[in-house]
Amino acid sequence: MSGKTIFRLRQETFRKACFNYWRYVFNDHAVLFFTFLLGALAYTTSKDPQLLRTIVKLLAYLGAIASFLFAVRPSFPLYIEEADGYWLRTNYQFFEEYLSQVFLSASYLAMGKWLICLLVVLGTKVWPLAYGLLFSLVTLVILVGKLMTLKKKASWMIQRDFRQSYQKEMRRQARWWLFFSQFTRVKERRLGQVKRRAYLDFLMHWGQKQMRTVHGGRQLALALRSSEYLTSWIWLTVLGLLLSIGNLPPLFLLAIQAIFLLMTTLQWGSLLQFETHTFLERVQRASKAEKEHDFHHIIAWVILLQAGIFGIVSKVTHWETLPSFGIVVFLLFAFSLYGLSAYRERKARRD
């Protein structure tokens, strides 16, 4: 057993868990983004004959923004179980080897993200070459600064008490895992039925088995009516078909997007209760203030990305009303989120 062996074993577990959680996230919200973009492309088809050029522009803008966000945020994947504490505390060399592997992994991953960012910016003809080079240079400077900070953090953790360091990292990591695993599975978490695979696949497989029986149609109808997850997919599909049929006004499309964004925000708002159940037991040691800070951080990024999509789609499809209404929607949700947080804090103080 060595530090490199511990790192390899724990990183394998960490990657599998993160893959499952990200799959849950994209299963739900990628459909929402796709539906909105479907309406934008349907509108563009009737107004702009150069549809292919428009799609390339849209993907280029989205790719540049996504690459920038990924490149300037290198991760520090420190994953240590309680059993590893014995090996890493008793041998200084094990701990030093482990942290060196962590830093190398974070550096390689960050440089790979930056390379993707460079290819996206320079490979598309949407941005001028000078702007693309300037954009890449700025992100490279930010990335190097982040990596140097991570290096200092690794040295600081070696010099300090090991138990205090890895407990802090475990609390931080558990809080993020909480949101990755639950903000799309709130209903199933409360019922204690969290599945590793997508609930939609499980339900459709069960429906196919039930259809073979005499009362299969009735059983499937009950399943469709009781499943919020599958119902949301059906509504989004119907919405996409409606958007593809006719030339709907941009204000109507924006209102639909705002309603779905409101529903998503309210669903995530239930996490502010932080009830003790199943997976939440893993983050008992984290304070409520830390959890609420992470929750507000995630919600803020979601709203900013939504506002960015509003602006990009309006620029590509020439919708003059989207920027102003996008700002209004952003401010509305920002103030509603602040009001919800203030209301819960006052209620907690009264109780």
Q: For residue range 17-75, list pLDDT tens digits in order.
A: 555 545 544 444 444 455 455 555 555 555 655 665 666 566 666 656 665 665 566 55
C-alpha distances out from residue 251 to 190, 265, 319, Å: 37, 21, 9
DSSP H or E segment with residue 39: helix 3-47
For the chain, the average pLDDT equals: 56
Residue 161, classed as helix, strand or coil, is: coil
Model pLDDT, residue 110? 73
Quick count: other Cβ atoms within 10 Å of Cβ 324? Answer: 11
pLDDT (mean) for 1-30: 57
Q: How is residue 317 written in tokens?
A: 């499809």
Is pLDDT at 275 greater than 50 in this prediction?
no
Both tokens assigned to 66 = 């996504």
Asked whether the beta carbons of 131 and 67 are under 8 A apart, the reply is: no
Is the CB of residue 20 less than 8 Å from the CB of residue 26?
no
Per the CB < 8 A criterion, the answer to whether 270 and 184 are in contact is no
- Estimate the crossing angle of helix 321-350 against helix 288-317, to 10 degrees: 170
Angle made by CA atoms 119, 72, 124, in degrees to the nearest 5: 20
pTM: 0.41
Mean pLDDT of 118-125: 64
Q: What is the mean pLDDT of residues 166-192?
A: 52
Residue 125 DSSP class: S
From 152-161, 242-251, 311-320, the region with the lowest mean pLDDT: 311-320
Three state DSSP letters for 17-29: HHHHHHHHHHHHH
Alpha helices in 72-128, H assignment, sequence order: 84-90, 92-123
Say yes or no to pLDDT of 103 above 70.
yes
Residues 12/247, Cβ–Cβ less than 8 Å: no
265/198 Cα distance (integer angstroms): 21
> Tell me, what's the pLDDT at 144?
81
Radius of gyration of the chain (CA): 23
3-class DSSP assignment, residue 16: helix
The torsion of the CA quartet 79, 81, 83, 84, rounded to 10 degrees, works out to 10
Residues ≥6 apart with Cβ < 8 Å to 285: 167, 171
Q: Which residue has the higher pLDDT, 324 or 152?
A: 152
- Decide which of 44 and 122 is more confident: 122
